[in-house]
Chains A and B, each alone.
Chain A
């Protein structure tokens, strides 16, 4: 009879693979780039790195343009996350009721976040095209003319905010919806007995209950937004001038266009330090929200019980709003002036919001359906336009004025499969196959390794547990560009470039931290007693894990799988850097390349490719939608 593994052995067995991967792909490159940041070095140059001390840092800190870049990035992050929060939470409030086709509507709202960011960028550029873009049509319908979406410096910035909001508000919506549906019904019932107003219930039941969860979602978005790269690169390339030059774009430009390796590593390190600061705040907030903090800490947002604190607690969203608006006042005015040129739409939106807030419950009830329909329409118009474009003939795509009705044709899909109109773009099907290989294998790996590590961290006393957790999470926070150069050099030297293995391992590492954090919450929810009972029955720890605990967390595993798959399936930057040949490109890289093809902009082909590429994720998500809703609570809400 074999001896069952002890707890310590299981813990090690479960933790070590994940930690090894993370260390190999994060810590090692990090030290390497730390060294390079003190040198003058151009990757690829035969001249070895020359030690220059802190010269790179001095250069960066004394360059006023770089300061501008940081301020701009902060503004972009602040505004985008704020807009996503408002829109996403708003939609969730509207959707938080029972109605027919709710699953379908919810999935429809989620479509934007399943797209590849780089393709979203390509498409928004197309939508905002001053001559024949969709926005021009919409504006002309209302008799207005505006074309400065990507050419006016202030508006280009807002266009990025709008596109990013379109893409990621659904994420906030999903999380909010999960939170809202987890608020115990009996609380509302009790309030109703007391004839509490809608506002009162919202303010004193809903908000306090879901605040921790929203906080987690906000912080996740903040971290991701800091890495905002793909979309900016293709929508504006940091222009006009430097109006949308973000840190991530600058980093990429330095590292890969100029191959100014030393300097770019220094910039990457500055970013890293800032993010570690952010990570600390995040961990503290999260621990408090979950009541896991140090013994003396109380739940978040009820810290000292003073008047001042309760004031802050009630009004922090308003304060946040005010700060964001005041900080960006002139820019907001610019945006408003553009919105004002389309008064009917803006006014009716404002009217809906006002009635929703102030109207009676019957009015609110019907209006919320109107609201859902209106917002869903706005969210789906870009997708409709992509679909329409994929079904148009080449002439119709660039027709002036843009054609709303047209004779559909499969021409673009045929061209897509044939490799663009010149047939040299490489095989789309092959590229989708590459994406599938890399996406599926990295997802399986990330979820299984993540589940093991999460279980170990949730169940066992692990030395330095919080440090490990912090380390794991910080790997999620660091913008991939920070480690891009060392990883590139490392992959080159160990022969992982141009291999699916290399790309898969990399995506596994990128997703691992999310997987660990998501799943840890789920494992913690499973009562220890279940397992103890199984152990008493003679189960080994591993068998108990497999037969008792794992089935309990399947919804969490489903949700994690979806998130990991979406991000691996859609990744762009590393696939571009690490794969040399068209035949080994993943689909997002191949499709982005078509944006400037041999025959001009192949919008139709890109549209067709984007849609087909979206299909598997959309179906997958629709099937698992219920698990997804339960899965995104991040374990932040205890049931």
Chain B
């Protein structure tokens, strides 16, 4: 009888171990697993890989954006063989290569992939590390950059056009410069009508405010670091401070709460008719180009991210496709990627809405007509520029996110924020041995 109590405990243990043998689902031996974020391009990729003729099932495991980076970190730290292919953000390349989480693809790519068919800029941004070394750890998968959506019905309304001309002395049209962008944003800001001029990326989430700010920074002639990778006096230069002041000033023309906006929020605000102009990654544009979600689907146009007083750059997003060092199916993964790189596959990818880096496909009318913003995307590609992609990029990003967001919310002045970033990033880069001279 006294065993009854132990029975109770044993029951618990049984319940535990009885199901313990089940190591979650999946992990099948005959399937190739791709790790990517959860969004429409991943749905499209799943459709594409369903047609893979290589005799093995390919599954795209979509991890929510909110958990994407953390999940990748646990995969790397745990050397998990759950995933064979990782589609990783461009900034991840340095850490992936230096810590050997990604397989070196240099020799294989030269034989298996037609390298000349890939846009050189995309190949460098998504695959090459260190820059200019000719060593490749990834193949471009989804190219991406920042663009803008705007409300054609507002921009093309004769009354609005006349009023705008009277006020600013030039014609209302999609802005070419940040100066014009500011004027138009100001013009359309009418809180009483629940209409605001623009919404940019200001939030502390992931890389939001950094991506939103850095393209303005470059347009204003600033940069993160100099040639020696030294941020001091560069990211806190007068140009950079002016850029941040301007960037923050645009907040005036945005809906309340914009300091927490990233791609989802700008899209939502635009689709519900609160914005004249919305910042968005091209890869998320399908969510705007959708009559089911966008009330103004028929009146939506797209334009190239504006240029600044001293240059014209656009923040680069997007991901390359890498083979995980911990995969037990690297051979199969190579075969799959060889198929993926083929021109006809890339064309099919583009038709499904994917952003290919294949030169011939990009030039084709098939691509340009596949979506209303694709022509703008083609213009954007040569202007793309990336945040640091070295092995300590996450530390650099963390501090820029926190300090820039603090400046945006008025807790630091632009100068204070940039000084703090310079100081902290200098320390990080020095400790990592990346600053070559002071």
Residues of A whose CB lies within 8 Å of any CB of B are 17, 42-47, 129-131, 147-148, 150-153, 234, 236-243, 245, 253, 256-260, 398, 400, 422, 424-425, 430, 434, 437, 440-442, 444-445, 448-449, 452, 488-489, 492, 497-501, 504-505, 540, 542-543, 545-547, 550, 576-584, 589, 592-601
A151-B259, A240-B406, A448-B9 given as contacts; is B4 within 8 A of A44 (CB)?
Answer: no
Q: Chain A contacts of B272 at CB under 8 A?
A: 398, 400
Q: Kindly state the separation between the CA atoms of A242 and B43 in the bound complex, as whole angstroms.
A: 35
Q: Kindly state the separation between the CA atoms of A184 and B347 in the bound complex, as whole angstroms.
A: 81
| Interface residue? B250 (CB, 8 A) | no
| Interface residue? B103 (CB, 8 A) | no
B12 touches A576 (CB 8 A): no
- Minimum CB–CB distance for B235 against chain A, Å: 17
B70 touches A581 (CB 8 A): no
B395 touches A260 (CB 8 A): yes
B42 touches A131 (CB 8 A): no
A44-B79, A400-B272 given as contacts; is B260 within 8 A of A579 (CB)?
Answer: no
- Minimum CB–CB distance for A446 against chain B, Å: 8
Which one of B18-26, B105-113, B298-306, B373-381 contacts A? B18-26
B25 touches A150 (CB 8 A): no
Q: Chain B contacts of A47 at CB under 8 A?
A: 99
A546 touches B23 (CB 8 A): no
B62 touches A598 (CB 8 A): yes
| Interface residue? B82 (CB, 8 A) | yes
Besides A259-B76, A545-B2, 13 new A-B residue pairs in contact (Cβ under 8 A), listed by A number:
A131-B274, A242-B406, A257-B398, A258-B394, A258-B395, A424-B43, A500-B24, A505-B16, A546-B2, A546-B4, A580-B83, A581-B25, A597-B38
Q: Pull 9 A–B residue pairs with CB atoms less than 8 Å apart, ordered by A.
A: A153-B411, A239-B405, A257-B70, A424-B46, A448-B12, A452-B5, A550-B5, A576-B67, A593-B64
Q: Residue among B11, B16, B39 with the most chain A CB within 10 A?
A: B16
| Interface residue? B100 (CB, 8 A) | yes
- Minimum CB–CB distance for B245 against chain A, Å: 17
Per-residue contact bits, chain B 6-33, to A (CB 8 Å; 1 contact, 0 not): 0011011101110110111111000000
Least CB separation from B395: chain A residue: A258
B99 touches A131 (CB 8 A): no
A239-B260, A240-B408 given as contacts; is B62 within 8 A of A424 (CB)?
Answer: yes
B204 touches A237 (CB 8 A): yes
A151 touches B256 (CB 8 A): yes
| Interface residue? B40 (CB, 8 A) | yes
B1 touches A546 (CB 8 A): yes
A422 touches B43 (CB 8 A): yes
| Interface residue? B89 (CB, 8 A) | no
A44 touches B73 (CB 8 A): yes
B19 touches A500 (CB 8 A): yes
| Interface residue? B53 (CB, 8 A) | no
A44 touches B409 (CB 8 A): no
| Interface residue? B227 (CB, 8 A) | no
Least CB separation from B70: chain A residue: A256
| Interface residue? B194 (CB, 8 A) | yes
Q: Kindly state the separation between the CA atoms of A258 and B73 in the bound complex, as whole angstroms.
A: 8
Q: Kindly state the separation between the CA atoms of A241 and B401 in the bound complex, as whole angstroms.
A: 8
- Minimum CB–CB distance for A115 against chain B, Å: 19
B42 touches A598 (CB 8 A): yes
Per-residue contact bits, chain B 128-149, to A (CB 8 Å; 1 contact, 0 not): 0000000000000000000000
B77 touches A259 (CB 8 A): yes
A581 touches B82 (CB 8 A): yes
Choose from B38, B255, B398 the contact partner of A593 (Cβ within 8 Å): B38
B398 touches A131 (CB 8 A): no
B38 touches A424 (CB 8 A): yes
Q: Kindly state the separation between the CA atoms of A48 and B46 in the bound complex, as whole angstroms.
A: 38
Taking residues whose C-beta sits less than 8 angstroms from the other chain, chain B's interface range is 35 or more
Q: Chain B contacts of A488 at CB under 8 A?
A: 74, 77-78
Q: Kindly state the separation between the CA atoms of A43 and B95 in the bound complex, as whole angstroms.
A: 12
B204 touches A542 (CB 8 A): no
Least CB separation from B258: chain A residue: A151
Least CB separation from A258: chain B residue: B394
Q: Chain A contacts of B38 at CB under 8 A?
A: 422, 424-425, 593, 596-598
A131-B256, A424-B38, A499-B20 given as contacts; is B43 within 8 A of A598 (CB)?
Answer: yes
- Minimum CB–CB distance for A510 against chain B, Å: 15
A44-B76, A257-B398, A398-B272 given as contacts; is B5 within 8 A of A580 (CB)?
Answer: no
| Interface residue? B360 (CB, 8 A) | no
Per-residue contact bits, chain B 387-414, to A (CB 8 Å; 1 contact, 0 not): 0000000110010001101111111100
Per-residue contact bits, chain B 60-73, to A (CB 8 Å; 1 contact, 0 not): 01111111011101
Q: Kindly state the separation between the CA atoms of A504 and B394 in the bound complex, as whole angstroms.
A: 32
A258-B394, A448-B9, A497-B78 given as contacts; is B256 within 8 A of A130 (CB)?
Answer: yes
A546-B1, A580-B74 given as contacts; is B260 within 8 A of A497 (CB)?
Answer: no
| Interface residue? B264 (CB, 8 A) | yes
- Minimum CB–CB distance for B137 against chain A, Å: 15
- Minimum CB–CB distance for B325 against chain A, Å: 10
Q: Chain B contacts of A240 at CB under 8 A?
A: 204, 259-260, 405-406, 408-409, 411
Q: Kindly state the separation between the CA atoms of A236 and B204 in the bound complex, as whole angstroms.
A: 8
B20 touches A259 (CB 8 A): no
- Minimum CB–CB distance for A105 against chain B, Å: 34
B402 touches A543 (CB 8 A): no
Q: Which of B303-353 contact A (CB under 8 A)?
A: none
Q: Kindly state the separation between the CA atoms of A550 and B7 in the bound complex, as whole angstroms.
A: 14
- Minimum CB–CB distance for B290 against chain A, Å: 9
| Interface residue? B356 (CB, 8 A) | no
A581 touches B2 (CB 8 A): no
B16 touches A580 (CB 8 A): no
B64 touches A596 (CB 8 A): yes
Q: Chain B contacts of A492 at CB under 8 A?
A: 77-80
- Minimum CB–CB distance for A156 against chain B, Å: 9
- Minimum CB–CB distance for A265 against chain B, Å: 13
Q: Chain B contacts of A577 at CB under 8 A?
A: 70, 74
Q: Chain B contacts of A598 at CB under 8 A?
A: 38-40, 42-43, 62
- Minimum CB–CB distance for A139 against chain B, Å: 12
A583 touches B25 (CB 8 A): yes
- Minimum CB–CB distance for B49 against chain A, Å: 13
Q: List the 3 closest pairs (A to B, CB-CB), nearest first.
A: A584-B24, A241-B406, A501-B20
A441-B16, A598-B39 given as contacts; is B402 within 8 A of A245 (CB)?
Answer: yes
- Minimum CB–CB distance for B397 against chain A, Å: 9
Q: Kindly state the separation between the CA atoms of A597 and B26 in the bound complex, as whole angstroms.
A: 22
Q: Kindly state the separation between the CA atoms of A188 and B22 in the bound complex, as whole angstroms.
A: 58
B63 touches A46 (CB 8 A): no
Q: Kindly state the separation between the CA atoms of A598 and B76 in the bound complex, as whole angstroms.
A: 25
| Interface residue? B203 (CB, 8 A) | yes
Q: Chain B contacts of A434 at CB under 8 A?
A: 24
B20 touches A44 (CB 8 A): no
Q: Chain A contacts of B407 at CB under 8 A?
A: 241
B80 touches A580 (CB 8 A): yes
B256 touches A238 (CB 8 A): no
- Minimum CB–CB distance for A423 against chain B, Å: 9
A424 touches B66 (CB 8 A): no
Choose from B64, B99, B406 the contact partner of A595 (Cβ within 8 Å): B64
A240-B259, A580-B24 given as contacts; is B2 within 8 A of A501 (CB)?
Answer: no
B99 touches A46 (CB 8 A): yes
Q: Chain B contacts of A576 at CB under 8 A?
A: 67, 70
| Interface residue? B257 (CB, 8 A) | yes
A44-B77, A256-B70, A445-B12 given as contacts; is B5 within 8 A of A545 (CB)?
Answer: yes
A130 touches B69 (CB 8 A): no
B409 touches A540 (CB 8 A): no
B411 touches A243 (CB 8 A): yes
A400-B194, A577-B74 given as contacts; is B15 within 8 A of A546 (CB)?
Answer: no
Q: Chain B contacts of A500 at CB under 8 A?
A: 16, 19-20, 22, 24
Q: Kindly state the separation between the CA atoms of A582 and B35 in the bound complex, as whole angstroms.
A: 11
Q: Kindly state the separation between the CA atoms of A501 and B24 in the bound complex, as whole angstroms.
A: 10
Per-residue contact bits, chain B 240-276, to A (CB 8 Å; 1 contact, 0 not): 0000000000000001111110001001110010100
B268 touches A600 (CB 8 A): yes
- Minimum CB–CB distance for A6 against chain B, Å: 13
